[in-house]
Structure 1
């Protein structure tokens, strides 16, 4: 969850630090007090585009920092490994975003500088933001297949992996077929280039590990004097009268004479004897190595020349001799392929056909799982919509295929176009009025209905997304009465599975909160700033009363506020 948020010199906020709790946190305040500015700051923290307009007038930069605590199995750990960002076992992740007055954006994760794209990757795994504008994004039909797959993620996981393998193989073969089938002039030019590269590498007569062996020999020759002195001094410290071996021999003889009187001394004597012969062998090898050492300046020149040639080739063909030898094999294969192009094109056609069949089989399996899950999803959403007083609404998942071209694979005798998701195009359809046909969501629902439909979808999908924090920015606009109460209960239901932060003007939603934060705008020294503070229990009733009347507090509105709070507590008790 989002544990703490610090904002400095951002829009009308000079400096604010907010501590967030688990469950449902509601942020309220007058229009223009800065509620949505806080959501804007969180959006920037999750990777949205920044602007110099966000930097508070008269300051050099705006800075935002968010501390998140995550569970042990959270997807962010995997992203940390992917991007080389260390996440400690305590599960703390710190996102930082700075925007300068010159428009420069600086992003950090756990103190490490990252790109905006990487910050966005982490942000999407930690925060899910929904506003009145985001509702339209959720209704985008291009995202519907992602939502359906999210709902059916467990059932789809293995089949999706198998499909991806088949699909990538299919695309790879198609790409190779296209490259090989290019016009004769391009193929002839490619053949000339490959021929030149092959001759250059073959003339070099490279040998496996040659570069490593030459580097070792070069190092030895360059350090000949140090090497010789080290071996010479070591040898003459061991060998000769009154030297190491001589004294070891005296020690060995002395211990042997005492060994017959005690078992432990006998054991030490044997170990010393073994050590003596080992060191004697080492001194012999040192003597041989000293005799073999020879400085050959001509050989050093030959090595330098050969390494220069190898390093020149490395710049063109690979980081090591092994890489270059492997490249030789690839060149030979490609030359043979181009030379016998027609034969290879025929073979590729056969392989593309087989790969297409395999991919279609997996795509069909994906379709069957999605179809089954779509039925369950439709029933779940219908139940959610009834809770939100859209009893007559009907929801359905529509499937269609994109018709393929001549070169595309077939499914049940029909050409189909494969894509990263298989063969399916998924669209969510809904009607809120009996007798009216099902249509795409954005074409049939009013503003208030869109809010409820979005909330129903969010309530279902939040169980599958695994995000740390869900944020709602005035998604309850355009509703009132019993619908407002239903929305409040639904938002609270989402908070039971993950932390929810909600900006709302509905007293019913505020009453349902576990934590209530009020945001106020104040003017000091002719500068506007935003103040944020958490309400106590009695203050919460006063704030809800103001939300009901929008004017002065009365005992009647206070009683109404207290009644809403009592109803909220009763609902929480019944659902816990």
Structure 2
């Protein structure tokens, strides 16, 4: 859950620190006080789109930081964080985001710099922000199938993965077939080009690591004079009359005499003798190397020419000799394919037909699973809608297209997610036919439909925190009461933050935060206050009646709070 939230220099917030509890936290206040600004800040914290407009006027940057506590070590956040090399210790994860006046963002997760994409990837496992705009997603039929797949969770996900692996092979095969079926003139031009390239590479007769060996030989040739002089001087210092070996030989001879007189000198004699023989061997080696040195300016020119040839091939076909040879093998295969084009086309056509059959079987299995889960989802939504006073509403996850429609077709319109096209249909009044959701639902009905779905999916998603941003728009009375109770039920599975203008929802809160703005020294700022019981009565009363709060209003507010406490205990 989101345990602590810090916001600095964000919009009209100069500095704000929130400690957020488990359960249902409701944010209320006058319109424009800054409730949605807090949600905007959280949205940016988990990877939402940023802008310099969020930076408080006169400041250089806005800073947002959130501490999340994960009690369940199987939470998907752990796996995703590990994939990005982010350590999570003691179940604590800290997200940070700074937005400068220039619009640039700096993102960190547990102190590690990350991209916005990674922040969004991690953030999506922690917080689900649900606002009025999401009603638009509910109106989009493409969103409906994704919701169903999410509901089917592991079972549908496994079938989708199996289908996806096969679909990828199908796409690759189709692409190869299309490439071979292109204009013959283009194919002939391509064949001429790669045959020339292959001949050029083969004529070079490249050997692995040849360039490295040539560079080493070139280095020796270019340093010939220094090397020659160095070996000559070394040999001259060791070999000859009155030179190094001569003097050490003299030392060894004298120590032999000393050892004959006194045995204590024998170890010293042995050491000097060993050194003499080692130096003698070294001297012979230096002489051999010295004698073998031969400066060949023509060989240096040959090396330069060969390296130049290799470098030109590298620029054309690969950065290394290995890369050039790999490219050579690749175009050699392509040449063979083009020359034997007709037979390859027949093979690919046969492979496409087989893949279509296999894909259809996978799509059929996926479609059958979706229909099974669609029935379960329909029953679950009817149950939730009944509790939201939409018991007369008929809901159906209707398959506009499915695998059955293409059973006898030779070519099926396979897509990345299968053959199914599904849309939610409803009838809100008895006797009325089922129609697409986006054609018949009002704002209040959409709010309830969304909440019904969210109640169902909160049990399957494992999201740490859910935020409802004025999703109760367009409802009142007993429906508002039912929505408050439903949001509270969602909070039993996930921490919930909810912005609301409904007293029925506010009364269900475990924690009630009152958002207000004030002007200090000519600047507007947003502040937050956690309400105690009496303050909560006053605020709920204000939400019921408006500005003027009478004793009767307070009685009504207290009654609403007591009713909420009773509901929570059930």
Tell me the TM-score normalized by structure 2.
Answer: 0.83
CA distances 1:38-65 after superposition (whole Å, capped 9, x unpaired): 2222233334434444333333443433
Q: Distance in 2 between matches of 1:122 and 1:525?
A: 40
Equivalent residue in structure 1 for 2:466, among 464, 470, 495: 470
Q: Distance in 1 between matches of 2:287 and 2:189?
A: 57
Deviates more, 1:450-459 or 1:107-116: 107-116
CA distances 1:342-367 after superposition (whole Å, capped 9, x unpaired): 22111111111111111111111100
Q: Distance in 2 between matches of 1:195 and 1:386?
A: 72
Q: Distance in 1 between matches of 2:182 and 2:124?
A: 42
**What does residue 170 of structure 1 align with?**
170
Contact in 1 for aligned 2:50/2:99 (Cα 8 Å): no
CA distances 1:65-86 after superposition (whole Å, capped 9, x unpaired): 333334533334444455x452
Q: CA deviation at 1:302?
A: 5.5
1:402-481 equivalence runs, <5 A: 411-413=407-409, 415-481=411-477
Q: Distance in 2 between matches of 1:162 and 1:30?
A: 52
Rate the CA distance shift 1:509–1:206 in 2: closer, same or farther, 3 A. Answer: same
Q: Distance in 1 between matches of 2:408 and 2:481?
A: 50
Is residue 522 from structure 1 mapped to residue 518 from structure 2 by the alignment? Answer: yes
Q: Distance in 2 between matches of 1:37 and 1:345?
A: 60
Deviates more, 1:314-323 or 1:177-186: 314-323
Q: Distance in 2 between matches of 1:281 and 1:412?
A: 89
Contact in 2 for aligned 1:401/1:417 (Cα 8 Å): no
Q: Distance in 2 between matches of 1:332 and 1:364?
A: 40
**What does residue 96 of structure 1 align with?**
97
CA distances 1:221-274 after superposition (whole Å, capped 9, x unpaired): 889989x99xx99xx9xx99999xx9xxx9xxxxxxxxxxxxxxxxxxxxxxxx
Is residue 337 from structure 1 mapped to residue 347 from structure 2 by the alignment? Answer: no
Q: Distance in 2 between matches of 1:546 and 1:282?
A: 102
Contact in 1 for aligned 2:363/2:403 (Cα 8 Å): no
Deviates more, 1:378-387 or 1:437-446: 437-446
Contact in 2 for aligned 1:403/1:417 (Cα 8 Å): no
Which structure 2 segments of 5+ residues have no match? Answer: 239-244, 257-273
Equivalent residue in structure 2 for 1:566, among 540, 551, 562: 562
Contact in 1 for aligned 2:44/2:97 (Cα 8 Å): no
**What does residue 398 of structure 2 align with?**
398
Rate the CA distance shift 1:478–1:336 in 2: closer, same or farther, 3 A. Answer: same
Contact in 1 for aligned 2:107/2:116 (Cα 8 Å): no
Is residue 347 from structure 1 mapped to residue 343 from structure 2 by the alignment? Answer: no
CA distances 1:310-343 after superposition (whole Å, capped 9, x unpaired): 3443333234322322211110111111122222
**What does residue 106 of structure 1 align with?**
105
Is residue 62 from structure 1 mapped to residue 58 from structure 2 by the alignment? Answer: no
Q: Distance in 2 between matches of 1:445 and 1:175?
A: 43
Q: CA deviation at 1:284?
A: 7.7
Deviates more, 1:107-116 or 1:445-454: 107-116
Q: Distance in 1 between matches of 2:429 and 2:282?
A: 97
**What does residue 532 of structure 1 align with?**
528
Q: Distance in 1 between matches of 2:567 and 2:164?
A: 45
Q: CA deviation at 1:174?
A: 0.9
Rate the CA distance shift 1:219–1:118 in 2: closer, same or farther, 3 A. Answer: farther
Secondary structure of residue in 2 paired with 1:125: coil
Q: Distance in 1 between matches of 2:511 and 2:219?
A: 69
**What does residue 72 of structure 1 align with?**
73
| Alignment root-mean-square deviation, CA | 3.8
**What does residue 269 of structure 1 align with?**
none
Q: Distance in 2 between matches of 1:199 and 1:316?
A: 13
**What does residue 269 of structure 2 align with?**
none
Q: CA deviation at 1:476?
A: 0.8
**What does residue 266 of structure 2 align with?**
none
Q: CA deviation at 1:523?
A: 1.1
Rate the CA distance shift 1:487–1:112 in 2: closer, same or farther, 3 A. Answer: same
Contact in 2 for aligned 1:4/1:19 (Cα 8 Å): yes
Contact in 2 for aligned 1:448/1:477 (Cα 8 Å): yes
Q: Distance in 1 between matches of 2:482 and 2:221?
A: 84
Q: CA deviation at 1:540?
A: 2.5
Secondary structure of residue in 2 paired with 1:167: helix
Deviates more, 1:290-299 or 1:117-126: 290-299
Q: CA deviation at 1:423?
A: 0.2
Is residue 366 from structure 1 mapped to residue 371 from structure 2 by the alignment? Answer: no
Q: Distance in 2 between matches of 1:120 and 1:452?
A: 28
Secondary structure of residue in 1 paired with 2:467: strand
CA distances 1:506-557 after superposition (whole Å, capped 9, x unpaired): 1222222222111101012222211112223443233223222223444443
Q: CA deviation at 1:2?
A: 2.5
Q: Distance in 2 between matches of 1:282 and 1:565?
A: 100
Contact in 2 for aligned 1:50/1:99 (Cα 8 Å): no
Q: CA deviation at 1:130?
A: 1.6
**What does residue 195 of structure 2 align with?**
195
1:32-71 equivalence runs, <5 A: 32-70=32-70, 71=72
Q: CA deviation at 1:189?
A: 2.0
Q: Distance in 2 between matches of 1:456 and 1:169?
A: 39
Secondary structure of residue in 2 paired with 1:491: helix
Q: Distance in 2 between matches of 1:8 and 1:489?
A: 34
Q: CA deviation at 1:115?
A: 4.6
Rate the CA distance shift 1:508–1:185 in 2: closer, same or farther, 3 A. Answer: same
Q: CA deviation at 1:7?
A: 2.5
Q: CA deviation at 1:297?
A: 7.2
**What does residue 31 of structure 2 align with?**
31
Equivalent residue in structure 2 for 1:542, among 538, 541, 557: 538
CA distances 1:424-466 after superposition (whole Å, capped 9, x unpaired): 0111111121111111112111111111110000111122223
1:5-24 equivalence runs, <5 A: 5-24=5-24
**What does residue 264 of structure 2 align with?**
none
Q: Distance in 2 between matches of 1:307 and 1:95?
A: 52
**What does residue 242 of structure 2 align with?**
none
Which structure 1 segments of 5+ residues have no match? Answer: 251-276
Q: CA deviation at 1:290?
A: 8.9
Rate the CA distance shift 1:193–1:387 in 2: closer, same or farther, 3 A. Answer: same
Contact in 2 for aligned 1:85/1:112 (Cα 8 Å): no
Q: Distance in 2 between matches of 1:437 and 1:156?
A: 30
Secondary structure of residue in 2 paired with 1:322: helix
Give aligned pairs, total: 537
Equivalent residue in structure 2 for 1:497, among 490, 493, 514: 493
Secondary structure of residue in 1 paired with 2:43: helix
Q: CA deviation at 1:282?
A: 13
